[in-house]
């Protein structure tokens, strides 16, 4: 993405905003409970039990969180495989969301693991158990996170190349005036950083495509395997959800959630940072979604019919109701998106994207938690500490996103792709490159 840096722009604005501190508080509360978890054991901070050994840390942070993080994956397919370069402006923010999503999913797994000190075993071939879907998920997710870091590197390198050392000076000054480096040392240090970045960036750009394609292959593998994880629970997962099609359903589910989350995140971002909505791109994305969901819903319903589960689906008991909510959210959102007028309405894009994300996420929750019944009177509901750890992790993700878009060129440059005529940005024609009026 070398020459595209006018395409992306660093968001100007204070980092330490009100929302920053609010999110930071949530993060600190979450980390406090994480500390308790390590000192007193998992039972002290969670309601997981022998009947429900996986709780929201797996069902949300890992299974649903990575699906929500699949924006990068979904958009990458569009751009690099389907060759729709018009979506390129969205790629970096999607990537950053993915990076955080997967990174924090991995973080949540480490917290959830009981004997985390043995996790180096994933790198010891004698311990590999290749029949296990979890083995494949673990290696795949670790590799994918690395690939996302590499894919994000160009943005970082660009910032390094163009940095002026202002922040470093300010931070050092804040620590202790004596620590502020002299001007020569600072410029020589910066020069070294800049030249290294400049040396690395073009070389990276040449081979980046191979990492990008890897970044499309890997999620195809592990997102479907996230579904395969529950294949073993044939006797405990409600037949409304347990099927040999779980891998396929999870794969398609993550792709349409990916597009929906890109739309959602983009609209929220635009609204929060007072930037124009990328209507053309989002509208284009929303055109693809209904076709995906049609396939997904057909497989879903067809499978239920084949296994004779339609009666159970319409029984209106606990399980049936959750199935119907999931079904209606996804189907409803998709039907609306068949209309071109709705696709060009920011409001309806937002609403349908929200419906699809909620419905798709509910599907994953249903498979991992709600439809899972070990029998014998077990039940599960997350504890307060458990919930706050998840909230802390999500807050960290939002916080990180907020901070990083202000440090690196991630968000699309509105000037660079056709927003020039919009009345929002008349003023901005005269403002120097890189500066966008923001409210926060």
Partner 1 sequence: MKKDDELICEGVTRRDFLKTCVTVTAMMGLPFAMHTQIAEAVETNKNPAVIWLHFQECTGCSESLLRSSHPTISTLILDMISLDYHETLMVGAGHQAEKSMHDSMVANKGKYILVVEGAIPTKDNGIYCKVSGKTSLETLRTVAAGAAAIIPIGTCASFGGIQSVSPNPTGAVGVRDIIKDKPIINIPGCPPNPYNFLSTVMYFLTFKKLPDLDNLGRPKFAYGRKIHEHCERRPHFDAGRFAIKYGDQSHAEGFCLYKLGCKGPETFANCSVQRFNDAGVWPVSVGHPCIGCTEPDILFKRAIAEKVQIHQPTPPDTYAPVNLKDKGKGADPLTTGVLGLAAGAALGAGAMLAKKLPTDGDSSGEEKKDE
Partner 2 sequence: MSKQTRRTFLKTIGLGGAAIMAAAGGVCQASEQSGVNNEALGMLYDATMCVGCKACMTVCKRVNSDFGGLSFEKAPFDQDGIWDAPQDLSGSTRTLIKLYKESDDRWSYIKYSCMHCQKPSCVSVCPVSAMTRDKQTGIVDYNKDTCIGCRYCQVGCSFNIPKFQWEKSLPQIVKCDLCKNTNLKEKGISACAETCPVGAIAFGKRKDLLEIAHNRLKENPGRYMQHVYGEHELGGTNHLYLAGVPFDKLGLPILPENAPAEFSEKIQHTIYKGFVAPVALYSTLCFIALKNQKKHEGSHNGADHDGENRGEREEHK
Q: Which stretch binds partner 1 (CB under 8 A): 109-117, 184-192, 384-392, 401-409?
A: 384-392
* Candidate residues 149, 233, 297, 403; the one interacting with partner 2 per rule CB under 8 A: 233
* Candidate residues 9, 142, 229, 249; the one interacting with partner 2 per rule CB under 8 A: 229
Counted residue by residue, the chain has a size of 440
Chain centroid to Cα 109, Å, comes to 15
DSSP bridge partners of 217: none
**What whole-number distance in Å separates Cα of residue 72 and Cα of residue 74?**
6
| CA-to-CA separations, 220 to 28, 224, 253, 423, in angstroms, rounded | 34, 6, 11, 41
Site string for partner 2, 176-205 (x = CB under 8 A): -----------------------------x
- List all residues 6 or more positions away from 127 whose beta carbon is below 8 Å from its beta carbon: 121
Nearer to partner 1, 18 or 347 (CB): 347
* Candidate residues 28, 179, 209, 431; the one interacting with partner 2 per rule CB under 8 A: 209
Nearer to partner 1, 26 or 157 (CB): 26
Report if residue 49 touches partner 2, rule: CB under 8 A: yes
Nearer to partner 2, 91 or 399 (CB): 91
Nearer to partner 1, 64 or 309 (CB): 64
Report if residue 123 touches partner 1, rule: CB under 8 A: no
By three-state DSSP, how is residue 412 classified?
A: strand
* Candidate residues 20, 31, 42, 51; the one interacting with partner 1 per rule CB under 8 A: 51
Nearer to partner 1, 52 or 73 (CB): 52
Report if residue 42 touches partner 2, rule: CB under 8 A: yes
Nearest Cα neighbor of 417 from 4, 7, 1, 2 is: 7
Report if residue 49 touches partner 1, rule: CB under 8 A: yes
Chain centroid to Cα 188, Å, comes to 38
DSSP bridge partners of 8: 412
Q: Is 390 in contact with 37 (CB distance < 8 Å)?
A: no
Q: Is 79 in contact with 91 (CB distance < 8 Å)?
A: yes
Contacted entry of partner 2, partner 1, none for residue 382, CB cut-off 5 to 8 Å set by kind: partner 1
Site for partner 1 in 387-426 (CB under 8 A): 387, 391, 418-419, 421-424
Nearest Cα neighbor of 186 from 171, 162, 168 is: 168
Nearest Cα neighbor of 372 from 437, 313, 322, 423 is: 322
Q: Which stretch binds partner 2 (CB under 8 A): 50-58, 98-106, 320-328, 425-433?
A: 50-58
Report if residue 384 touches partner 1, rule: CB under 8 A: yes
Smallest gap from residue 68 Cβ to partner 2 (A): 22
- List all residues 6 or more positions away from 410 whose beta carbon is below 8 Å from its beta carbon: 8, 10, 11, 92, 93, 96, 155, 404
Site string for partner 1, 219-258 (x = CB under 8 A): ----------------------------------------
Smallest gap from residue 437 Cβ to partner 1 (A): 17
Tally the C-alpha atoms within 13 A of residue 380's C-alpha that lie toward its C-beta: 26
**What whole-number distance in Å separates Cα of residue 291 and Cα of residue 195?**
47
Chain centroid to Cα 187, Å, comes to 37
Report if residue 303 touches partner 2, rule: CB under 8 A: no
Site for partner 1 in 52-111 (CB under 8 A): 52, 86
Instruction: State residue 181 phi and psi, 5-degree precision.
Output: -75, 155
Number of residues that bind partner 1 (CB under 8 A): 43
Contacted entry of partner 1, partner 2, none for residue 244, CB cut-off 5 to 8 Å set by kind: partner 2
- Pull the structure tokens for residue 297: 């819903």
Site string for partner 1, 349-378 (x = CB under 8 A): xxx--x---------------------xxx
Q: Which stretch binds partner 1 (CB under 8 A): 97-105, 218-226, 267-275, 317-325?
A: 267-275
Cα first-last separation, the chain: 29
Report if residue 210 touches partner 2, rule: CB under 8 A: yes
- Pull the structure tokens for residue 138: 């673990």
Contacted entry of partner 1, partner 2, none for residue 379, CB cut-off 5 to 8 Å set by kind: partner 1
**What whole-number distance in Å separates Cα of residue 62 and Cα of residue 42?**
17
Site for partner 2 in 82-111 (CB under 8 A): 82-86, 109
**What whole-number distance in Å separates Cα of residue 285 and Cα of residue 349?**
10
In the 8-state DSSP scheme, what is residue 344?
Answer: T
Q: Is 237 in contact with 370 (CB distance < 8 Å)?
A: no
* Candidate residues 12, 15, 25, 121; the one interacting with partner 2 per rule CB under 8 A: 121
* Chain residues in the site for partner 1 (CB under 8 A): 47, 49-52, 86, 267-268, 271, 276-277, 279-280, 283-284, 287, 344-351, 354, 376-384, 386-387, 391, 418-419, 421-424
């Amino acid at each position: 993405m070398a020459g595209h840096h006018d395409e992306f722009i660093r968001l100007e604005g204070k980092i330490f905003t009100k929302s920053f501190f609010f999110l930071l508080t949530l993060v600190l509360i979450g980390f406090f409970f994480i500390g308790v978890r390590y000192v007193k054991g998992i039972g002290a901070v969670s309601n997981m039990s022998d009947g429900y050994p996986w709780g929201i840390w797996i069902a949300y942070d890992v299974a649903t969180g990575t699906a929500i993080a699949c924006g990068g994956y979904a958009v990458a397919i569009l751009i690099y495989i389907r060759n729709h370069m018009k979506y390129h402006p969205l790629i970096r923010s999607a990537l950053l969301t993915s990076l955080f999503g997967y990174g924090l999913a991995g973080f949540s797994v480490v917290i959830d693991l009981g004997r985390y000190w043995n996790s180096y075993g994933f790198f010891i071939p004698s311990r590999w158990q290749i029949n296990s879907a979890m083995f494949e998920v673990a290696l795949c997710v670790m590799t994918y996170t690395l690939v996302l870091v590499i894919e994000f590197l160009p943005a970082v390198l660009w910032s390094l190349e163009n940095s002026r050392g202002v922040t470093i000076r300010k931070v050092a000054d804040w620590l202790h005036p004596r620590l502020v480096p002299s001007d020569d040392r600072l410029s020589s240090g910066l020069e070294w950083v800049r030249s290294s970045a400049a040396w690395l960036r073009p070389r990276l750009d040449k081979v980046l495509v191979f990492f990008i394609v890897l970044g499309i292959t890997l999620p195809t593998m592990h997102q479907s395997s996230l579904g395969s994880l529950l294949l073993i629970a044939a006797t405990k997962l409600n037949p409304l959800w347990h099927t040999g099609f779980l891998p396929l359903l999870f794969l398609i589910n993550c792709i349409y959630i990916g597009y929906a989350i890109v739309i959602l995140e983009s609209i929220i971002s635009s609204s929060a940072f007072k930037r124009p909505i990328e209507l053309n791109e989002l509208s284009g994305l929303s055109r693809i979604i209904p076709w995906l969901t049609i396939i997904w819903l057909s497989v879903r319903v067809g499978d239920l019919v084949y296994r004779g589960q339609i009666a159970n689906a319409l029984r209106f008991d606990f399980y049936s109701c959750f199935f119907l909510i999931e079904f209606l959210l996804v189907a409803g959102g998709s039907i609306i998106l068949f209309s071109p007028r709705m696709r060009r309405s920011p409001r309806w894009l937002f609403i349908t994207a929200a419906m699809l994300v909620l419905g798709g996420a509910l599907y994953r929750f249903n498979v991992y938690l709600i439809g899972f019944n070990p029998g014998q009177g077990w039940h599960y509901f997350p504890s307060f500490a458990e919930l706050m750890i998840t909230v802390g992790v999500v807050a960290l993700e939002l916080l990180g996103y907020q901070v990083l878009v202000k440090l690196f060129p991630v968000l699309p440059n509105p000037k660079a792709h056709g927003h020039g005529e919009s009345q929002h940005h008349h003023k901005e024609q005269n403002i120097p490159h890189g500066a966008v009026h923001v409210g926060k």
